[in-house]
Amino acid sequence: MRYIRYIILFSVFVSCKKPTPPVETTPETFKNGYLVLNEGLFQQNNSTLSWINLVDQSVTENIFSKINNRPLGDTGNDLKKYGGKIYIVLNGSSTVEVVEATTLKSIAQVNLFHNQQAQQPRSISFSGSNAYISSYDGYINVMDTASLSITHRISVGNNPEGVITYGDYLYVSNSGGLNFPNVDSTVYKINLNTFQLEQSFHVGANPRQLEHDSQGNIYVVKQGDYSSDPSELVFINTTTNQVTNLGIPATTIYRLNQLLYVSYFDFTTEQSSVRLYDLSNQSVLNNSLISSGSIQSLYGIHALQSGEFICFDAQGFTNSGYLKKFAANGNEIFTYSVGLNPNKLIYYE
């Protein structure tokens, strides 16, 4: 999601209960578990997938390599399931790895190069038969999900990061991250029928992740400059086109129904927090869902229909990370040891 070069390296302080050492297994088909994307480190070609079996709580590392007999690639930034396929966006490799959802066998390794230049993909979203992939070269790649071929390139802003679709529109956050500190500050609204820009919103410096509510309004993580300009949650009312900085500290967000889970890691104090935001009435339900000492380096969050939620702990960003599962009341339930810089998860029922 973010380049590790922008992150201060922290001393290691492990304060979690460790599970029983796992017995590694490689199932023929995948169900009842978590598939975890571990980002790795930029230009180290060490992104991996971890498989967590919820029947016996075992963890199998490097599951992609075990099945496909090759590394996954460099800097895994996004992981999503659409139809019967899973799409893994690898920024450093400039590829999108497409695998069968039930077996994790590779279907295609889509190379994203234009005029022999790496496009550096970041995030992916879907609508109808198309996938929309943001790339740091200033374009959205439109990929047909049947042929897995790039059919169109949409010119957007500087170093587009987050992408999300709602109805007939694609929303793109233009981070300008490669020009830091001279970053971008816009979110584009693209008409999916014409691939034309319809609206540009100024949301603050370095916008990243996007989510929408049931009304089609957009929530943006405005990353700022990691110091004097704080990372906060910004609201775009797509009916009035009004932009409001909600003043809620945020580095990643995850929507589940009418709830928005807002995770925040303070790079100065090294403190982590999770807030619960009600999208239906636009109010904070809980300002401290976990204790500040529960996580060392909060790198993301994933909520479950059960009310439980999972935090990704990067453990200083240079060590193997953890998934920590919490009950709805914020009590820690279990800790899973996974790979380097875990950042995304798919739940298999």
Residue that has been written with the tokens 């970041």 in this structure? 122
pLDDT at 291: 83
pLDDT confidence of residue 293: 83
Are 266 and 223 in contact by the 8 Å Cβ rule? The answer is no
| Domain parsing of the chain, residue ranges | 4-348
Can you name the CATH fold of 4-348? Methylamine Dehydrogenase; Chain H (2.130.10)
The three-class DSSP label of residue 194 is coil
Q: According to the model, what pLDDT value does residue 24 have?
A: 54
* Distance of alpha carbon 194 from alpha carbon 175, whole angstroms: 24
For residue 30, give Cα distances in angstroms to 105, 201, 346.
Answer: 11, 41, 11
Residue 323 is given by DSSP the state E
Alpha-helical (H) ranges within the chain are 63-68
CA-CA distance, 111 to 296, in Å (whole number)? 35
Predicted pLDDT of residue 4? 39
pTM of the model: 0.92
* pLDDT score for 27: 78
How would you write the pLDDT of the chain (349 residues) with one tens digit per residue?
Answer: 444 333 333 333 333 444 444 445 577 789 999 999 999 999 999 999 999 999 999 999 999 999 999 999 999 999 999 999 999 999 999 999 999 999 999 999 999 999 999 999 999 999 999 999 999 999 999 999 999 999 999 999 999 999 999 999 999 999 999 999 999 999 999 999 999 999 999 999 999 999 999 999 999 999 999 889 999 999 999 999 999 999 999 999 999 999 999 999 998 899 999 999 999 999 999 999 998 788 999 999 999 999 999 999 999 999 899 999 999 999 999 999 999 999 999 999 9
What was the pLDDT predicted at 6?
38
What backbone torsions phi and psi does residue 71 show, to the nearest 5 degrees?
Answer: -65, 155
Beta bridge pairs of residue 89 = 78, 96
- CA dist 131 and 152 (Å) reads 11
pLDDT at 29: 81
